[in-house]
Structure 1
Amino acid sequence: MAADTFLLELGVEELPPGAIDTLSDALAEGIRQGLDDANVEHGQVVAFASPRRLAVQVARLADKQPDREIERRGPSLAAAFKDGEPTKAAEGFARSCGVGVDELIHLKTDKGTWLGYREQQIGEATTSLLPAIVEHAITALPVPKNMRWGDSRVEFSRPAHWLVMLYGKQVVEASALGLQSSRTTRGHRFHAPQAFELDHADDYLACMENAWVLVDRDKRRERIREQVLAEAEVNEATAVIDEELLVEVSGLVEWPVALTGSFDERFLEVPAECLVSSMKANQKYFHLLDAKGNLRPQFITIANIESHKPELVIDGNEKVIRPRLSDAAFFYDTDRQRPLGERIKELSSVVFQQQLGTLADKAHRSGAIAAFIANRIGGDVNQAQRASELAKCDLVTEMVQEFPELQGTMGRYYATHDGESHEVARALEEQYLPRFAGDEVPATATGLALALADRLDTLTGIFGIGQRPSGTKDPFALRRASIGVLNILIKAGLDLDLRELLELAASQHQNLPKAEGLVDEVQAYMLDRFRAWARDEGIGAEVYLAVRSRPVTKPLDFARRLKAVHAFADREEAAALAAANKRVANILAKQGEGAGLDVNAGLLQEDAEKALFEAVTACRQQVSPLFAEARYRAALDVLAGLRQPVDDFFDQVMVMADDDAVKRNRLALLASLQGLFLEVADIAELT
């Protein structure tokens, strides 16, 4: 069976840069899935893309499906013949196979013998399968918003202009999006606008690069990264390369060329975050820092053309950025003319959620929660309340309305300008920490209190109106809020009871339609998020279940137990003790006895049960202070020493003795053993 390279290229007008990767990967996956479904052997399937094209290259694609033997089963022999003559069932089956009854075979199975038919099916040519595979893959693309062009009723993300389909040197005859396939493609819009033909599918990358198009997404991104770093080095500066911006810029150019421009130093009086947001959001520029980490009045732009007069391109970009930075400076100056405190009343007209009131209502509720938390963690109650009052005020400033990503950051700048305390100003920014997995948590007590209070208010409120997240729908980001609360409590080492916090937060809301059982529901939801937290920490689901089975409501304590059980699970004794605990749990569940009884040493008869009693008693004395200090790992290390006496007990002692008192005493001993482990987790789950 021969094989060759297949190439598909769909040429379009400039695609939305944020959609290119998704569309490109989906197209490659659609082709791969189609080939696999058709049972066509192939090598690596690679996606390529640029603003003006989506392409897929398939290596070592077989020229046909493999031949295969088809076996069909018909009626049973009993139903196929009567008095030695074929029945209508036999004749109908033969006709469906295109043969006579005498050409059918007998198929023997465990359930009897049946009429059957075998034929050799010749595999179809791959070139005859590809048109349908490609059409289906293109039709199934997750296009965010379709459009029509010209007088055609064809729809796609952007107008489509050419379609290349090559199998080796051969053009695969097909049509899609109103286009007929060919070997004709196009290069860079300005450097190589003329159409040209591809001789072979293997020539694609080299030909496109000769036509000023870097169609390999990764190569194009790395070219941009290298150029930006090189420009920064020339300017004796450090370039800040935001990966999301890098991806976006890569989706805007086919032939990247980095150029350095500058702006007036007077703009540096505006907070650097404002200037950076303007450069990134509006112009897609990379910013530069000096040796001290301060913003420099320079930027790097990525042109889509290698100009003979780059100074003109630079000049154009400098002219464009100037009014943008002027806007940022105007917003900053305008906002500072009014203290944040004067904006508190404006929050009364900004709705947080229709059933939960305004941002002013939320600030009032959060203030009570934050004050309580601040008191518990040794913070300043008055500062926590002041921070809560100001927490959302920057949302109604000109700067944040223009650049929403600056919420909190501008609150800190404006609060500092207004003479608010350093702690309050920092808390206004820290309330949004952590923003993502692995992000830092607030460093100040006021920031911790505010960050927790804001999330707890949102969680109880949204659950209280019946808007619990379902499936992939989580419009209020309650999953992120829950994990944020857990991370803050754990990373900051706050030994707070989640239930107590939720009860306080719930009590701040008035007339919640789902108030009954609200705290139980939110608590369960949040503790269930520990599964994801544990996974991020490399802790298995069975360890999570072992700890989740216990009534632990302090996240910091929950995390300590998780880590201790995770370490215990790696010990040699863990499997045996987990199995023993599972056995103990089953015995006690069936008998319903022993858990509330004390062990009577006088009723111990066998050496093995006496040894277990002594070991359990000794362990209890050792681990009690460890449990009190939440040193769960050390406690489990002690309990690991019970493996041998536990094994000996089950090998040598009959729990269900004829003497009822002896039986109950042995059950009490097992309950005592189980109770030691349950102080940490139900390790029976480790089985």
Structure 2
Amino acid sequence: MSAQDFLVEIGTEELPPKSLVTLATAFADNISQELAKLDLSHADVKWYAAPRRLAVVVKNLIAKQADKEVEKRGPAIAAAFDADGNATKAAIGWAKGCGITVEQAERLETDKGAWLLHKQIQPGSNTSSLLAEIVTSALAKLPIAKPMRWGSSKVEFIRPVHSIIMLYGNDVIPANIMGKDSSNHSYGHRFHAPAKIKIQNAEHYETALESGYVIADFSKRKAIIEQGVTEAAKQLNGQALMDADLLDEVTALVEWPVVLVGSFEQSFLDIPAEPLISTMKDNQKYFPVVDAAGNLQNKFIFVTNIESKDPQQVISGNEKVVRPRLADAEFFFNTDRKQTLASRLDSLSSVLFQKQLGTLAEKSERISQLAAYVAEKIGADKTAAQRAGLLSKTDLMTNMVGEFPEVQGIMGMHYARFDGENETVALALNEQYMPRFAGDQLPTRLEGAAVAIADKLDSLVGIFGIGQAPKGDKDPFALRRAAIGALRIMVDKDLNLDLVDIIAFSQQTFGDKLTNANVATDVLEFMLGRFRAWYQDQGYTVDVIQAVLARRPTVPADFNQRVKAVAEFRKLDAAAALAAANKRVANILAKIDTAIPDTVDVKLLQQVEEQALYQAITAEQAEQAKLQSYTDGLMHLAKMQQVIDQFFDNVMVNADDAAVKLNRQALLKQLRELFLQVADISVLQ
């Protein structure tokens, strides 16, 4: 059957740059799903996205649906004919609806009876007749939080729509979508080529737009920008700060990227680099430049959407725009330095953290107490951690952080150094927010780790303590991130901290503010629950995680060691048999509702196999006490497979003699406890 390429383009006003890729991929996915529903086979589906257009190309889209054989079941034979064998009204009506006579109907014989049946071939529809509805449905399902209307139209979309291309092969598919009639015309660059551009077919799409100064392929534009920025930085003997989100956003802002370099006064570099970098990246969408040592340079790289005959005019314009922002940062910095962080402590009393939990001053005091407690537990400088916890939120009261919230903590560190605070305290003010996101770096010093854990735990205990735990996808206080961040610090730094202990201490710091009587249990369960997703992301299987969770270890570093040990154990040939044996033991013991002795009576061990198992358990108990790691312990337990298998193959646990039966149950209890020292192996699949 013949097939041709299909192209759809939605021409709009400038689309939100941060949403562009999401919209484009969703559009392509939605079209693929609609095609699948209609059994329309095709090859690759490719999306295009530029500031003023979303497009999808479906390669080798089949021209027509395949014909289908449709079965229509009629009345049961008993209801289709009367006692004389004549067709009833029900049968006649059904046959008429099928376009046949009752005599032409087939019979469907099943175990449950017989029915009238009609089979007919339903011809497939031409693809061209289905495309308009496919595109309309795909657009309706786009993730648009706030659609808008324009003019007098009642049509809603993320931005006003100006044109629609619908091409199947070389033919325009007639359609009216979002109030616009389809055509084979697109539009080029707003300034370089604003006139209509005729698109012959999907294959012609990219080259036709490039002739109009539009690179429709997002990945191609991105590669051009990345290469251009890298080369420009190289020419400056530096390196561009080009994170993935900024690169994507800049790519979404331009149709025809041109990379240029601007500069600013050297004197601005006397300010800490972070706010300068922040304003250049976040406000101006520039790429700051650093030298080989990571020091900010007075150069920036930017991408313009126009190929100017006089690039210097474009450069000068951008330099004029960025200069006032840098001057603002300079002013804020100089103003803030007139007041120490410590002198700002009183002002924290005027800012509410949460209505029931009090002000930032109260939160800082709680963090200070908990940070000192944690620091003492992990061998850190208690005094430094306590001081850092007290000052932890003071930089929120500065002009710089008020203007650039993303540098909170960072500016606290800089201001603390200018104030003459201990360097450990200064670093901890920045490290309190680490890790800020998945994969972010962790605190470098134990004092910073103590403050970071204290800050996150205070939020967890406080918010859970007033009954506002996260629900569904709603997590306004980012408690999931806080929990995972605290766990990461404790695990990666191998800190000997028990969640039960530090949660209890944190709870005490709130006095009578908390109303949830189960706060300690709720926070513990919530934090342990984060382990599952975290370890799954690292490639561990669910059963390995569940085996450890079954033992509920509350020291995160210990939890991590157990997970790694069980994962290694699971790779052994003996693992499956031992897991099955443990499951069997667990099932036997679960059915016993009487007390089982803790010790085994050697005199009642009648069979060789149970005697051998007892000896193996006794020897293993002594051996386990000598081993240094959970991994070694489980590997050593694996050697018991044969003796365990022989026991179950030859020994009847539920013996007729009640004393022998109870003794064998005691033997299994010891075996179970031996394996449960690390994890519940019976959970392994």
Q: Shorter-chain-normalised TM-score: which range?
A: over 0.9
Instruction: Name the residue aligned to 2:536.
Output: 535
Instruction: Name the residue aligned to 2:321.
Output: 320
Letter in 1 for 2:222: R
Q: 1 CA distance for matches of 2:528 and 2:293?
A: 43
Contact 1:594 / 1:668 at 8 angstroms: preserved in 2?
Answer: no
Letter in 2 for 1:13: E
Aligned length, in residue pairs: 684
Instruction: Name the residue aligned to 2:419.
Output: 418
User: TM-score, normalising length from structure 1?
Assistant: 0.98
Instruction: Name the residue aligned to 1:685.
Output: 683
Contact 1:460 / 1:505 at 8 angstroms: preserved in 2?
Answer: yes
Residues 424/5 of structure 1: CA separation in 2 closer, same or farther (3 Å cut): same
- 1:306 Cα offset (Å): 1.3
Q: Deviations over 1:510-547 (max 9, x none)?
A: 44564312111110111111102211332111011111
Matched, 1:145 2:143: no
Matched, 1:171 2:172: yes
- 1:151 Cα offset (Å): 2.3
Instruction: Name the residue aligned to 1:118.
Output: 119
Instruction: Name the residue aligned to 1:625.
Output: 626
Instruction: Name the residue aligned to 1:107.
Output: 108
Secondary structure in 2 matching 1:542: helix
Q: 1 CA distance for matches of 2:118 and 2:467?
A: 60
Q: 1 CA distance for matches of 2:570 and 2:593?
A: 28
Instruction: Name the residue aligned to 1:463.
Output: 464
Contact 1:593 / 1:664 at 8 angstroms: preserved in 2?
Answer: no
Contact 1:106 / 1:114 at 8 angstroms: preserved in 2?
Answer: yes
RMSD: 1.3
Instruction: Name the residue aligned to 1:391.
Output: 392
Instruction: Name the residue aligned to 1:57.
Output: 57
Range moving further from structure 2, 269-278 or 379-388: 379-388
Instruction: Name the residue aligned to 2:33.
Output: 33
Residues 463/85 of structure 1: CA separation in 2 closer, same or farther (3 Å cut): same
Instruction: Name the residue aligned to 1:375.
Output: 376
Instruction: Name the residue aligned to 2:310.
Output: 309
Contact 2:462 / 2:514 at 8 angstroms: preserved in 1?
Answer: no
Range moving further from structure 2, 139-148 or 177-186: 139-148
Instruction: Name the residue aligned to 2:75.
Output: 75
Instruction: Name the residue aligned to 2:258.
Output: 257
Contact 2:198 / 2:208 at 8 angstroms: preserved in 1?
Answer: no
- 1:378 Cα offset (Å): 1.7
Paired residues for 1:503-582 under 5 Å: 503-512=504-513, 514-582=515-583
Letter in 1 for 2:44: Q
Range moving further from structure 2, 227-236 or 63-72: 227-236
Range moving further from structure 2, 548-557 or 137-146: 137-146
Letter in 2 for 1:282: N
Q: Deviations over 1:170-196 (max 9, x none)?
A: 000111111000001111111211102
Residues 537/33 of structure 1: CA separation in 2 closer, same or farther (3 Å cut): closer
Contact 2:197 / 2:209 at 8 angstroms: preserved in 1?
Answer: no
Q: 2 CA distance for matches of 1:513 and 1:391?
A: 23
Secondary structure in 2 matching 1:672: helix
- 1:593 Cα offset (Å): 5.3
Q: 1 CA distance for matches of 2:287 and 2:255?
A: 18
Letter in 1 for 2:51: P
Q: Deviations over 1:30-87 (max 9, x none)?
A: 2111111111111111111100100000001011111011101111100111121111
Contact 1:594 / 1:667 at 8 angstroms: preserved in 2?
Answer: no
Q: Deviations over 1:191-215 (max 9, x none)?
A: 2111021112221111112221111
Letter in 1 for 2:71: E
Q: 2 CA distance for matches of 1:114 and 1:514?
A: 66
Letter in 1 for 2:30: G
Q: Deviations over 1:289-313 (max 9, x none)?
A: 1122211110001011111111111
Matched, 1:606 2:603: no
Matched, 1:499 2:500: yes
- 1:597 Cα offset (Å): 2.8
Contact 2:69 / 2:119 at 8 angstroms: preserved in 1?
Answer: yes
Instruction: Name the residue aligned to 1:225.
Output: 226
Instruction: Name the residue aligned to 1:3.
Output: 3
Instruction: Name the residue aligned to 2:186.
Output: 185
Letter in 2 for 1:355: Q
- 1:658 Cα offset (Å): 1.3
Stretches of 4+ aligned residues off by more than 4 angstroms? none
Letter in 1 for 2:33: Q
Contact 2:596 / 2:662 at 8 angstroms: preserved in 1?
Answer: no
Runs of 5+ in structure 2 lacking a partner? none
Q: Deviations over 1:260-316 (max 9, x none)?
A: 111110000011111100101111000111122211110001011111111111111
Letter in 2 for 1:678: L
Secondary structure in 2 matching 1:522: helix
Q: Deviations over 1:589-639 (max 9, x none)?
A: 11245743311112111111111111111111100233xx5x100111111
Secondary structure in 2 matching 1:114: strand
Contact 1:543 / 1:562 at 8 angstroms: preserved in 2?
Answer: yes
Range moving further from structure 2, 527-536 or 450-459: 527-536
Instruction: Name the residue aligned to 2:672.
Output: 674
Provide the identity percentage.
50
Runs of 5+ in structure 1 lacking a partner? none
Q: 2 CA distance for matches of 1:28 and 1:362?
A: 48
Paired residues for 1:274-285 under 5 Å: 274-285=275-286
Secondary structure in 1 matching 2:338: coil
Range moving further from structure 2, 3-12 or 341-350: 341-350
Letter in 2 for 1:42: H
Range moving further from structure 2, 150-159 or 216-225: 150-159
Instruction: Name the residue aligned to 2:650.
Output: 652
